Structures are given as C-alpha cells and as structure tokens.
Structure 1
Amino acid sequence: MRRLISFPCAGETLAATLDEAAGKTGLLIVSGGNEIRIGAHRGMALLAARVTQAGHPVLRFDRRGIGDSTGENGGYESSAEDIAAAARALRDAGAERILAFGNCDAATALAFFHASAGIDALLLANPWAIEPTDALPPAAAIRSHYAAKLRDPREWLRLLRGGVNIAKLLRGLRKASQKPSEAPAGLTARLATALGGAQVPVTILLAKGDNTAIAFADAFKGAAWEAARARTKVETLDSASHSFAAAADKDWLLQRVLERLA
C-alpha cells in the first residue's frame, strides 16, 4: 500500500510517500537537485513501486523547501537533518535495516551525512563531484566528448563545411586541456574523504556517457581516492542517461537495488 505521510525536521514538516511491504530491509530514496520525490520521468515513484512488489518498504521524501515540505531550500549541503528525519520515519514504519539510494548531489549528500542518519548501506548513482567555474561541462566530460567526435569522419566534414561554432570549440578545448590538479579540490577532496572513511557498504553506479558520471570517474582515479577505491564497489551502465530514463536503464537500476537490499 502507498501512503502519504509527514514527519518533523528541525521545526519544519517534511512530506513523504511510504510504500509499505513486509520486509525488514527498507529503501530510502533521496532526491537530487531540486527534484520532488517523484523523480525525473516519475522514475523514483516507479522504482519504489517495483521494489515494494519485491517485498521491501520504500520511503521517498521532499527535503525542506522542496515540493510539499515546509521551510527553506538550502540545497544538498544542508540536508543532513532531512536525511536523518527520513531515516527515522522509515524505521518507525518497521524497517530494521536501511539502504539509501541517491542520484547526483543526493548521492554526495548521502556520502557526507549517512553516518549521522544511521543508514546501513549506500547505493550512490552518478555522484556530484563538480565545482562549476563556468557554463561549460566539466573538463573530463569535454575530453570524452571530443574524443568521440575525433573518431567520427562526419564530424571532420562538419568542421570543414563550417558547421562548427569555432569560438565554442576553442573554449571547450581550453577547458579540456586542464589537468585534474587544476580543478577546484574542495568538494572532491571532501567526497573522497567521506567515501574513504565510510563504515558501511558502498556501491557506486555510473551511467558511462553522463557528464556527471564522467567527471566523478575522472576524479575517482586520483591519489586522494585510494581509500575510497578500496572500500567501494563501482558498476557502470552503458548509457548517457543521468536519470536512468530508458526502460533498460530502469531495469538495470532495479536489479542493483534489489541485490543490495537482499
């Protein structure tokens, strides 16, 4: 049964959706960006329904200032209390063990704040590890993009025929030439430390062609991530969909969720 519930969080009220099931291991879904709990393309609502059919309760919620929840939206960096309140609500509903899933900056928030919420395992999709300096994609994504184009003869013909914005091309090449050490280190260093010190099982899911995933994978190769690499499992999907929009992507994600819940 799917129920709408609410619970307190730092003097505000969070709205949530609880899909009930008899299992004692529950899934907590944390939305990324400013998405409401239904998710992009209704993806999180559909995932919750399928996980519940497999016997596991699922809770999705709007953090403060988003959707039906009260309060101010402080972004993912201020979501520690929201995640902890949602985890308590899922335990109050009968879950004895909690797997938390988040995509993009929700994945990063879970890496930062899971311990204080008492979460037992993490499934982190396309974690946000980008500190934007301009409107362009991250350097690693630009390099991947141009590498694919250089392998395509049609792109060379397009360039010769004047079908390419040269100014944009030059800006992209300048950014693509950045070494990883030239990128701001604050967020990536904090994320590396959080994952390297995690005391719960962590699985990272990456959509191979997604810019956010490409940037994370590039950072993940660095020396600062040695401890994180030793403690985490990484699985890659051959897709460019950040939100696992295609039917095959949804099936792949569901299988990973169910494996971790088991």
Structure 2
Amino acid sequence: MRCLISFRCADAMLAGTLDTGDATTGLLIVSGGNEVRHGAHRGMAMLAQRLASRGTPVFRYDRRGIGDSEGDNRGFAHAGDDLRAAAAAFRQAAPHVTRLYAFGNCDAATLLALEGRSAEIERVLLANPWTIEQADDLPPAAAIRAGYAQQLRDPAEWRRLLGGGINIDKVFKGLWKIARTRSQPNTLATKVTTAIAQWGDAATVLLARDDNTARAFADAARSHDFQTLTIDTSSHSFARAADKQALAEIITRWLDA
C-alpha cells in the first residue's frame, strides 16, 4: 500500500510517500538535485513499489522548495534538516522499522555521506556522489581525460585532427583544466571522501561506469578503498530499463546483506 504523508521541517510542510512493508529494515530514498521524489522517469517510485512488494517499507520525500513541499529550495548543502525530518517521519509512520538504511544519487548521495549519521541512518548506498566544484562550462577533469584517452585510440579522431575537424582551442582548455585540477585541491571532494571513509563498512558506493559525475568521484576517491559497485551505463539516473533492473537487484542484495 502507498500512503501520502505530510511532515514538518522548520516552518515548512514537506510531502512524503510511504510504500508499506512488514520488514524491520526500512529504506529511505533521497532524491538528488532538484528532482522530485518520484525520480527520473518515475524510477524511484517504481523502485519503491518493487521493494515494498517483497516486504521492505520505503519512504521518499521532497525537500523544501521541491515538488509538493513548501519552503525555499536552498540546495543539497542546506538539506540536512530535511533529511532528519524525513527520517523521523518515516520512523513515526512505520514504528516497526528498527534499522534505517538510505539510498541517494548524485548530491543526495553527498548529503547522505555528510549528514546521514545525524539522522540515525545505519547504512548508506551512495550512487554517483557529487564532488564537483564547477568553475566553468567544461566537463569534470576526469571526464575530459577519459574522453581524450578514448579519442587517442580512435583512428577516425586522428583523421579529424589532421583535417582540422577538432576545435584546438577547446582541446587546450581541456588540457589546462586537467593540469589546474591536479594542482588545486577540491575541498568538496575531500570533505565527501573523508565523510564516506568515516562510515567504514556501513557505506557502499555505486557508480554508473560512463557517467561524468561518477568519473569525477572515482578520480577524487582514488586514494581510498571504498566498497564500490558498478553498473555498466552512461545514464546518471539509471534511467534505461536494464539500468533499473540492475539497480533494483543491487539494492535488494544490499538490503539483505
């Protein structure tokens, strides 16, 4: 059964959705970016329904200023109170839940890494954590490196280069960004990877193999040994049918572990 729930966060009323189940382990799904709780292409709503059908209670919510929730949208960096309010609302609506796990994608994963402990969440599955401090309109340095490496292996790209079909100015901008990124510390990336490390075995990272955000995180986390799973896709939100299936299977195994 799916129930709509309203709960308070500071001076705003937030909207939540509970897919009921009898299990004592509940899953809190946190939406990333400015995405509503249904998720991209209703992906999170369908995931919640699938997990609830096997007995797992699942709670989703819109943070302040998003979707059906009141208040001002101040971004993920100011959404800790929303997360704590949602976790409390979940426990109140499903009092039989004794273990609370959480899943989030993109900046929702970053939020969970930084604030999940304060919401008394026991385990987190962090998909494509956001670690990018954007100063230009270019892709992350890790994505630029991956793109250049692929192009260097492609004879057609060499023919384009020799024929003047490649924007040399853009190439130099990309190379400059790679060099600058190596020499300048990314404070957000350091903060996020440190927070994940503090979770220890209670945190698992999930990456979309060919997603730029995932590449940026993997580059930032290269000195860490996180528990990491990978889905072979370029879809940041795991939007394709095969991605949805893979994501559901991974979360099911993770919940049962």
TM-score normalised by L of structure 2: 0.94
One of 173, 176, 197 as aligned partner of 1:174:
176
Q: For each residue in 1:41-93, what CA deviation from the matched residue of structure 2 results, as whole angstroms up to 9, or x when unmatched?
A: 21111111111112101111000111111111111011111111111111112
In structure 1, distance between residues paired with 2:145 and 2:201: 34
In structure 2, distance between residues paired with 1:41 and 1:102: 16
Partners of 2:124 and 2:204 within 8 A in 1: yes
Displacement of 1:161 after TM fit?
3.2
In structure 2, distance between residues paired with 1:176 and 1:185: 13
Whether 1:188 and 2:182 are equivalent positions in the alignment is no
Partners of 1:122 and 1:200 within 8 A in 2: no
Partners of 2:190 and 2:220 within 8 A in 1: no
Amino acid at match of 2:147: H
Displacement of 1:179 after TM fit?
5.1
Residues 70 and 200 of structure 1: CA distance in aligned 2, closer, same or farther (over 3 Å): farther
Percent same amino acid among aligned pairs?
Answer: 54
Q: For each residue in 1:105-134, what CA deviation from the matched residue of structure 2 results, as whole angstroms up to 9, or x when unmatched?
A: 100000000111000110000001111111
Number of the residue aligned with 1:9? 9
Amino acid at match of 1:233: Q
Amino acid at match of 1:23: A
Number of the residue aligned with 2:127? 125
Number of the residue aligned with 1:31? 31
Number of the residue aligned with 2:251? 257
Residues 67 and 50 of structure 1: CA distance in aligned 2, closer, same or farther (over 3 Å): same
Structure 1 runs (4+) deviating above 6 angstroms are none
Number of the residue aligned with 2:157? 155
- Trace 1:62-101 onto structure 2 (pairs within 5 A): 62-94=62-94, 95-101=97-103
Partners of 1:139 and 1:178 within 8 A in 2: no
Q: Secondary structure at the match of 2:199?
A: coil
Moved more, 158-167 or 100-109: 158-167
Partners of 2:4 and 2:16 within 8 A in 1: yes
Residues 199 and 207 of structure 1: CA distance in aligned 2, closer, same or farther (over 3 Å): closer
Displacement of 1:96 after TM fit?
1.7
Whether 1:217 and 2:218 are equivalent positions in the alignment is yes
One of 108, 111, 122 as aligned partner of 2:110:
108
Partners of 1:99 and 1:260 within 8 A in 2: no
Partners of 2:28 and 2:101 within 8 A in 1: yes
Q: For each residue in 1:150-197, what CA deviation from the matched residue of structure 2 results, as whole angstroms up to 9, or x when unmatched?
A: 1111222223333322222221122133453x2443111211221122
Partners of 2:6 and 2:13 within 8 A in 1: yes
Q: For each residue in 1:224-244, what CA deviation from the matched residue of structure 2 results, as whole angstroms up to 9, or x when unmatched?
A: x4xxx3xx4111122111111
Number of the residue aligned with 1:248? 242
Residues 199 and 174 of structure 1: CA distance in aligned 2, closer, same or farther (over 3 Å): closer
Number of the residue aligned with 1:47? 47
Displacement of 1:199 after TM fit?
6.0
Q: Secondary structure at the match of 1:197?
A: helix
Structure 2 unaligned blocks of 5 or more = none
TM-score normalised by L of structure 1: 0.92
Q: Secondary structure at the match of 1:29?
A: strand
In structure 2, distance between residues paired with 1:166 and 1:199: 44
Q: How many residues align?
A: 254
Amino acid at match of 1:112: L
